[in-house]
C-alpha cells in the first residue's frame, strides 16, 4: 500500500487511487510500522485534492490513535516529516499533538530541522498558535548562537542566507498578524533575522533578494525593523547593479550590441 501511495504521489494521473489508499490505510493502521505511516501521511499531502473530507478525517483519526503515544520516541527527522505531512492536511488532533511535541524539542533540533519545523507550524497552524509563538521566541537565541552561519548550503552550525529568507517567508503571516511591539516575540524575531540578513546580504540569490525586499516594504513582515533602511540600501544597490549589467548587454538601437555594431576594421583597431 505504501509503495502504491509513493507512486501515486509522483503521478497526478493516478489521483483516483488516493481515496481507496486512504480508506484501506485507515482500516488497517495498527499493522503499519511508525516510519511507514509517517511516509504515507507525507505522501498523502501530494494527493489531498483527490480525497473527500470524510476519507481524510478517517485517515487522520486512525493515524492519531496509532502515532500519538509514539511521538516522544520519534527520531527528530521522523518528527519533522510527520509535522510537514500533517501541516498540509488541515487541522487534526494529531497535528496539535505533533506541534506540541515539536515545541518541546526545539532546543534539541539542528537549525535546518528547526527551519522545517517552523515552516510546518506556520503552514498548519493559526498565526496565534502557542507552538508557533514558542518557535518565534526560540529563534533569536538560536541564531545568535550560530553566529554568521554557513556560507553555502546548511550545516548544524547555521543556515544559508537563502534559508534565512525561507524562514522569513514562512513566518510572514504570523509576523504580520502579531504586534511588533518592542520586546515582543515578534519584534525580537524580526531584529534577529534582519541582523543576520545584513551580515549575509551579498550571499542572497536574486530570488531571495526580491523576497526580502518585498517583506521590507510597507506592510511586510520585516517593515517594523529599526534597521529596515539599512538592509534596503544594499538590496537596492544590488538590484541597480544588475539592471545596469543587463542594460550593457542589451542590443544597441542599430541592432546587436554596441561592440557588434562596429566594423571588422574598427574592432581590430579597438583590440590594439
pTM attached to this predicted model: 0.81
Q: What angle do the packed helices 185-200 and 130-146 form, to 10 degrees?
A: 40
Is a pLDDT exceeding 60 seen at residue 107? yes
> What is the arithmetic mean of pLDDT over 179-193?
82
DSSP, collapsed to helix, strand or coil, labels residue 37 as helix
* Selection from 154, 147, 137 nearest residue 195 by Cα: 147
User: Which residues are CB-neighbours of 28 under 8 A, at least 6 positions away?
Assistant: none
Q: What share of the chain is helix, strand, coil (3-state, %, to 5)?
A: 75, 0, 25
Q: What digits encode the pLDDT tens for the residues 27-76?
A: 988 898 999 999 999 989 988 888 899 999 999 999 999 999 999 999 99
Which residues face 158 on adjacent strands? 155
For the chain, what percent of residues have pLDDT higher than 70? 85
Q: Which three cell numbers stand for residue 57?
A: 478525517
Which is more confidently placed, 26 or 100? Answer: 100
Place of cell 488497517: 28
Q: For the chain, what are the domain ranges? A: 1-104, 110-247
Q: Which three cell numbers stand for residue 16?
A: 483516483
pLDDT at 155: 37
Dihedral sign for Cα atoms in the order 175, 180, 182, 185: negative
Which residues face 155 on adjacent strands? 158
pLDDT band at 87 (very low <50, low <70, confident <90, very high): very high
> What is the arithmetic mean of pLDDT over 144-158?
53
Which is more confidently placed, 238 or 151? Answer: 238
Q: What end-to-end distance do the CA atoms of the chain give, in Å? A: 72
pLDDT at 153: 41
Q: What digits encode the pLDDT tens for the residues 199-221?
A: 999 999 999 999 999 999 999 99
Amino acid at each position: 500500500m505504501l509503495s502504491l501511495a509513493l507512486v501515486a504521489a509522483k503521478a497526478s494521473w493516478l489521483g483516483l487511487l488516493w481515496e481507496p489508499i486512504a480508506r484501506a490505510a485507515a482500516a488497517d493502521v495498527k499493522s503499519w510500522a511508525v516510519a511507514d505511516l509517517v511516509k504515507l501521511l507525507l505522501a498523502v499531502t501530494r494527493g489531498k485534492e483527490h480525497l473527500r473530507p470524510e476519507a481524510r478525517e478517517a485517515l487522520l483519526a486512525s493515524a492519531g490513535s496509532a502515532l500519538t503515544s509514539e511521538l516522544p520516541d520519534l527520531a527528530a527527522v521522523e518528527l519533522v516529516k510527520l509535522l510537514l505531512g500533517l501541516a498540509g492536511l488541515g487541522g487534526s488532533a494529531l497535528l496539535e499533538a505533533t506541534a506540541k511535541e515539536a515545541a518541546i524539542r526545539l532546543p534539541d533540533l539542528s537549525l535546518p530541522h528547526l527551519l522545517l519545523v517552523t515552516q510546518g507550524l506556520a503552514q498548519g497552524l493559526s498565526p496565534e498558535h502557542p507552538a508557533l509563538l514558542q518557535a518565534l521566541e526560540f529563534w533569536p537565541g538560536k541564531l545568535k548562537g550560530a553566529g554568521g552561519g554557513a556560507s553555502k548550503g546548511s550545516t548544524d552550525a547555521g543556515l544559508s542566507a537563502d534559508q534565512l529568507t525561507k524562514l522569513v517567508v514562512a513566518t510572514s503571516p504570523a509576523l504580520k498578524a502579531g504586534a511588533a511591539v518592542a520586546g515582543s516575540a515578534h519584534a525580537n524575531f524580526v531584529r534577529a533575522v534582519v541582523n543576520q540578513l545584513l551580515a549575509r546580504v551579498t550571499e542572497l540569490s536574486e530570488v531571495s533578494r526580491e523576497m526580502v525586499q518585498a517583506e521590507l516594504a510597507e506592510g511586510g513582515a520585516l517593515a517594523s525593523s529599526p534597521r529596515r533602511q539599512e538592509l534596503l540600501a544594499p538590496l537596492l544597490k544590488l538590484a541597480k547593479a544588475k539592471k545596469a549589467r543587463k542594460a550593457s548587454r542589451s542590443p544597441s538601437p542599430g541592432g546587436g550590441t554596441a561592440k557588434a555594431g562596429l566594423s571588422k576594421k574598427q574592432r581590430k583597431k579597438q583590440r590594439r
